[in-house]
């Protein structure tokens, strides 16, 4: 019986090397995927496998790289052929292993590209199912250059197979993946997902990998894989060659083996000679199995944040509790405020953002999923998913790009059983609250006992205790005089046991005046007791003062740079401009902040409706006229609209909710297949600045979704945008579907490739050459509707 995991724990294993170039030399036609060779000339593939086995390779990568259902309709036949070749070479040897080889899909995942995450998972899943029962001993996911795609592949492997999973990523010389991830972020993600070995392949030679291996050796607990190219591609006599020969290659590989890399092999340009030389040179180097590292990592798609060293600030602002504006925005499905809060907290120093969108009347799972996707589009700060619903947490964990923090579980066994299985599957760092079905213990020892129980349970579910962060909780001092002391003592006890901690600071002052003063002092005391991370308001200067000062005092701020940058930033707070400018002028010149501030001033002495009718609308009309007369340009129009929208925002806060407005709206979408959205977004801003309600469905939108939106909102005016000639047919189809299924709907179209004639030909009701024109169409549409 083959036992790869046992072999991994006890000896160094060699992968094989490159195949593509060698198969071409053996007659693979140019332009044909190397994977096809298993069908075209299986003997060639088998002989190359055998050459690698003779060189000393113990793991053969089956010739299955770079194919899937979308690229090769006969992918299953190819996979079957490839594994047949590998089995023929391996025979019945128990000490040799076959890897099912999976690579990138060649497509970019949403939101940067158009491939949906679950579609990527299903592409990989199909390959894995096609290989079932055909003799693969492990799944190798390699040359991955995107964090989210790597996660999709690993999930597919875990959901469709019990085989060990190895993952290697392709970094560039600066140590980053094509989409920005660094080694630490991949270590966090992949160890969280429970893979069996990780490392690097392709990109450059073994010398480059020697430079990057340090982070892996220091921070990963898994067996490490290094499969480099034979150097960078060079041009010699008009041919692409790889510069590093077997001798130089094996010297470098020997150094990597001596440093503790247990799985070695080659990628592009390496040959059986490279592997043979390296196997020989490393034979005498003793094998050192990997050691568990007691490191807690939370990550995004670019970087990881380490908990347990220097304290970490978690921003608490994305939470509707006590924030009427955010509540209102969430209820109306508008996530823009939430995104701004995210970006501003990051700027204020938050390294992780807590995300809570729980409102009783809201579909929390859907809102949370949207919030996570959009937040990850505007910031690379790792997120802390915060919900009392295990289902909400699980859905967000699945699509989160990285290894999230999860808030929270308690010592109650039901809570643990509901949340921990998903954490085991997707990876994450979990906040464990020191409370259970009996409540919060009054003593530090009582809270410690619950903490220990949470850790033990987590281990029982297969989660390493380093991924649990304990919240010792703090109760209001006003009702419990020794509350702070109990919490601080619990923190001390937890730190003595090497357990990471987190604390929501502000509870302590509940019911007392001048809360920030108490919060700040308590925060400083908690930090002194070894608090790992704090959930707080990054806009509270009292708190951030303590945070940045503490880091520098503890000697954790090299050259006091963080502190200096912090104080610089505080001094930079922009004062409102002293310049005398009217609200109308602010809108005309596109000065957003001033427009908002001046609106507030007018509102203190003027009726809200009068501010709209007498100031905002006339200014907007003026800009619109200038644009139509070509006296101002598109960016200027847009800036004015932005400023007017900011002014509107302020007025709206004072207005009773307008009821008749619901009908005055427009649905906007960029049609299926088109990813351009600038034009559509400009139209949105302009419509909003004129007070229309806009239902923006985004880009690459199917006719079905537009119909559904029309039916759901009751909105009968629809705007479609397309920028490419190739997506005009999609626009035509959408219009036809809308006219058929939503009688009474009118469709306006715009976009660089259209003109009035083309718009008429594809059945549009209105053609809008520019954004201003769309506003006019909407005005006429609703004026007509009122008359009728």
Partner 1 sequence: MTAPLLLGRLSREELTPRPAELRARLQCPPGRLPPALLARCEGALREALDCRWAARRVCLAEELPALPPDFLAGQLKGCRHAFVLAVTLGHGVDRLLARLSLLSQTEYLLADGIASALAEAACGEVDARLSAGLSCLPRFSPGYGALPLSLQPSLLSLLDAGRQLGITLSSSLLMSPSKSITAILGIRELH
Judge whether 193 and 154 are in contact, CB under 8 Å: yes
The distance of closest approach from Cβ of residue 638 to partner 1 in the complex, given in angstroms and rounded to an integer, is 5
**702 contributes a contact to partner 1 by CB under 8 A:** no
**634 contributes a contact to partner 1 by CB under 8 A:** yes
**145 contributes a contact to partner 1 by CB under 8 A:** yes
Strand residue runs (E) in 150-244: 165-169, 197-202, 224-228, 233-236, 239-242
**675 contributes a contact to partner 1 by CB under 8 A:** yes
Site string for partner 1, 582-611 (x = CB under 8 A): --------x---------------------
> Under rule CB under 8 A, which residues in 271-290 are in contact with partner 1?
none
Nearest to partner 1 of 160, 689 (CB atom): 689
What tokens were used for 142?
């390699």
**334 contributes a contact to partner 1 by CB under 8 A:** no
Nearest to partner 1 of 407, 727 (CB atom): 727
Report the C-alpha gap between 531 and 693 in whole angstroms. Answer: 46
Q: CB-side exposure of 158: number of CA atoms within 13 Å?
A: 20
Nearest to partner 1 of 143, 599 (CB atom): 143
The SS3 assignment for 467 reads helix
> Under rule CB under 8 A, which residues in 166-195 are in contact with partner 1?
170, 178-180
Q: Of the ranges 111-119, 347-355, 596-604, 739-747, which one interacts with partner 1 (CB under 8 A)?
A: 111-119
Q: Of these, 61, 143, 161, 410, which contacts partner 1 (CB under 8 A)?
A: 143
Report the C-alpha gap between 187 and 299 in whole angstroms. Answer: 9
End-to-end CA distance of the chain: 81
Report the C-alpha gap between 380 and 403 in whole angstroms. Answer: 12
Nearest to partner 1 of 160, 379 (CB atom): 379
Q: Of these, 6, 331, 336, 658, which contacts partner 1 (CB under 8 A)?
A: 336
Site string for partner 1, 508-547 (x = CB under 8 A): ----------------------------------------
Tokens 């250059």 identify what position?
Answer: 145
What tokens were used for 785?
């509707």
* Residues counted in the chain: 788
**104 contributes a contact to partner 1 by CB under 8 A:** yes
Nearest to partner 1 of 270, 506 (CB atom): 270
Q: Of these, 111, 530, 663, 763, which contacts partner 1 (CB under 8 A)?
A: 111
**649 contributes a contact to partner 1 by CB under 8 A:** no
Nearest to partner 1 of 287, 633 (CB atom): 633
Judge whether 444 and 400 are in contact, CB under 8 Å: no
Nearest to partner 1 of 164, 342 (CB atom): 342
Q: Of these, 219, 339, 493, 525, which contacts partner 1 (CB under 8 A)?
A: 339
What tokens were used for 729?
């047919």
Nearest to partner 1 of 170, 212 (CB atom): 170
Residues 6+ apart with CB under 8 A from 681: 696
Q: Residue 401 gets which letter from DSSP?
A: S
Q: Return phi, psi of residue 498, to 5°.
A: 70, 25
**217 contributes a contact to partner 1 by CB under 8 A:** no
Pairing verdict, β 197-202 and 165-169: parallel
Pairing verdict, β 97-102 and 138-144: parallel
The distance of closest approach from Cβ of residue 268 to partner 1 in the complex, given in angstroms and rounded to an integer, is 9
The CA radius of gyration of the chain, in Å to the nearest whole number, is 30
Q: Return phi, psi of residue 97, to 5°.
A: -125, 150
Site string for partner 1, 340-359 (x = CB under 8 A): x--x----------------
**329 contributes a contact to partner 1 by CB under 8 A:** no
Q: Of the ranges 375-383, 498-506, 528-536, 542-550, which one interacts with partner 1 (CB under 8 A)?
A: 375-383
Q: If we measure between CA atoms, which residue out of 670, 659, 663 comes closest to residue 702?
A: 670
Report the C-alpha gap between 592 and 344 in whole angstroms. Answer: 17
The distance of closest approach from Cβ of residue 394 to partner 1 in the complex, given in angstroms and rounded to an integer, is 25
Across 451-473, b (16+ Cβ under 10 Å) vs e yields bbbbbebbeeeebbbbbbbbbbb
Report the C-alpha gap between 608 and 650 in whole angstroms. Answer: 9
Distance of CA 257 to the CA centre of its chain: 34
Site string for partner 1, 544-583 (x = CB under 8 A): ----------------------------------------
Distance of CA 767 to the CA centre of its chain: 38
Binding site for partner 1 (CB under 8 A): 30-31, 104, 106-108, 111-115, 143, 145, 170, 178-180, 202, 233, 235, 238-240, 336, 339-340, 343, 374, 377-380, 590, 632-636, 638-639, 642, 673-675, 677-678, 681-682, 684-685, 724-727
């Amino acid at each position: 019986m083959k036992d790869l995991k046992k072999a991994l724990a006890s000896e160094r294993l060699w992968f094989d090397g490159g195949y593509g170039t060698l198969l071409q030399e053996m007659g693979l036609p140019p332009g044909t995927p190397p994977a096809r060779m298993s069908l075209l000339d299986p003997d060639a593939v088998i002989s190359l496998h055998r050459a690698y086995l003779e060189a000393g390779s113990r793991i053969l990568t089956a010739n299955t790289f770079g194919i899937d259902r979308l690229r090769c309709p006969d992918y299953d036949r190819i996979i079957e052929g490839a594994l047949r070749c590998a089995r023929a070479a391996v025979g019945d040897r128990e000490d040799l292993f076959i890897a099912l080889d999976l690579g990138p899909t060649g497509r970019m995942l949403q939101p940067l590209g158009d491939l949906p995450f679950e579609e990527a998972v299903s592409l990989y899943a199909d390959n894995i199912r096609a290989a079932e029962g055909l003799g693969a001993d492990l799944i190798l996911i390699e040359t991955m250059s995107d964090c989210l795609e790597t996660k999709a592949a690993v999930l597919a492997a875990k959901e469709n197979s019990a085989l060990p999973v190895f993952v290697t990523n392709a970094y560039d010389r600066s140590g980053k993946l094509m989409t920005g991830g660094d080694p630490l972020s991949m270590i966090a993600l992949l160890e969280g997902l429970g893979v069996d070995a990780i490392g690097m392949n392709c990109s450059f030679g073994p010398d480059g990998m020697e430079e990057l291996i340090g982070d892996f050796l220091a921070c990963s607990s898994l067996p490490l894989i290094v499969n480099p190219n034979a150097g960078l591609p060079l041009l010699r006599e008009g041919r692409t060659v790889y510069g590093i020969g077997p001798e130089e290659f094996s010297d470098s590989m020997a150094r990597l083996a001596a440093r503790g890399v247990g799985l070695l092999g080659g990628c592009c340009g390496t040959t059986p000679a490279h592997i043979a030389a390296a196997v020989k040179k490393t034979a005498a180097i003793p094998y050192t199995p990997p050691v568990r590292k007691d490191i807690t990592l939370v990550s995004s798609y670019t970087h990881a944040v380490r908990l347990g060293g220097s304290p970490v600030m978690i921003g608490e602002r994305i939470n509707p509790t006590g924030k009427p504006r955010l509540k209102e925005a969430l209820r109306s499905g508008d996530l823009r405020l939430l995104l701004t809060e995210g970006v501003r907290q990051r700027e204020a120093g938050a390294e992780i953002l807590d995300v809570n969108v729980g409102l009783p009347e809201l579909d929390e799972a859907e809102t949370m999923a949207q919030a996570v996707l959009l937040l990850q589009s505007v910031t690379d700060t790792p997120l802390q998913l915060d919900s009392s619903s295990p289902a909400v947490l699980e859905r967000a964990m699945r699509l989160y790009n990285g290894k999230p923090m999860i808030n929270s579980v308690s010592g109650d066994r039901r809570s643990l059983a509901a949340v921990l299985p998903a954490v085991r599957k997707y990876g994450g760092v979990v906040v464990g609250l020191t409370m259970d079905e009996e409540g919060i213990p009054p003593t530090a020892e009582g809270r410690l006992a619950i903490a220990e129980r949470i850790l033990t349970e987590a281990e029982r579910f297969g989660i390493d205790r380093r991924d649990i962060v304990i919240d010792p909780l703090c109760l209001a001092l006003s009702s419990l005089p020794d509350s702070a002391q109990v919490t601080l003592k619990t923190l001390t006890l937890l730190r003595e046991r090497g357990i990471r901690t987190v604390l929501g600071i502000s509870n302590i002052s509940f019911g007392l005046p001048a809360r920030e003063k108490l919060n700040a002092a308590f925060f400083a005391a908690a930090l002194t007791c070894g608090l790992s991370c704090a959930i707080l308001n990054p806009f509270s200067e009292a708190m951030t003062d303590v945070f940045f000062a503490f880091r520098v005092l503890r000697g954790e701020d090299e050259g006091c740079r963080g502190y200096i940058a912090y104080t610089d930033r505080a001094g930079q707070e922009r004062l409102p401009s002293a310049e005398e400018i009217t609200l109308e002028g602010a809108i005309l010149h596109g000065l957003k902040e001033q427009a908002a501030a001046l609106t507030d001033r007018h509102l203190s002495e003027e009726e809200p409706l009068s501010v709209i009718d007498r100031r905002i609308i006339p200014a907007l009309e003026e800009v619109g006229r200038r644009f139509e007369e070509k006296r101002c340009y598109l960016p200027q129009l847009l800036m004015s609209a932005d400023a007017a929208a900011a002014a509107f925002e302020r007025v709206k806060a004072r207005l009773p909710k307008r009821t008749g407005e619901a009908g005055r709206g427009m649905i906007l979408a960029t049609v299926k297949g088109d990813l351009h959205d600038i034009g559509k977004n400009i139209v949105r801003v302009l419509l909003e600045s004129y007070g229309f309600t806009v239902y923006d469905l985004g880009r690459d939108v199917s006719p079905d979704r537009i119909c559904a939106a029309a039916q759901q909102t009751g909105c009968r005016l629809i705007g479609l945008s397309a920028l490419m000639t190739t997506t005009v047919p999609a626009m035509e189809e959408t219009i036809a579907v809308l006219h058929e299924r939503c009688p009474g709907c009118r469709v306006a179209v715009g976009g660089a490739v259209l003109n009035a004639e083309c718009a008429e030909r594809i059945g549009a009701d209105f053609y809008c050459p520019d954004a201003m024109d769309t506003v006019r169409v909407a005005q006429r549409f609703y004026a007509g509707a009122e008359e009728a």
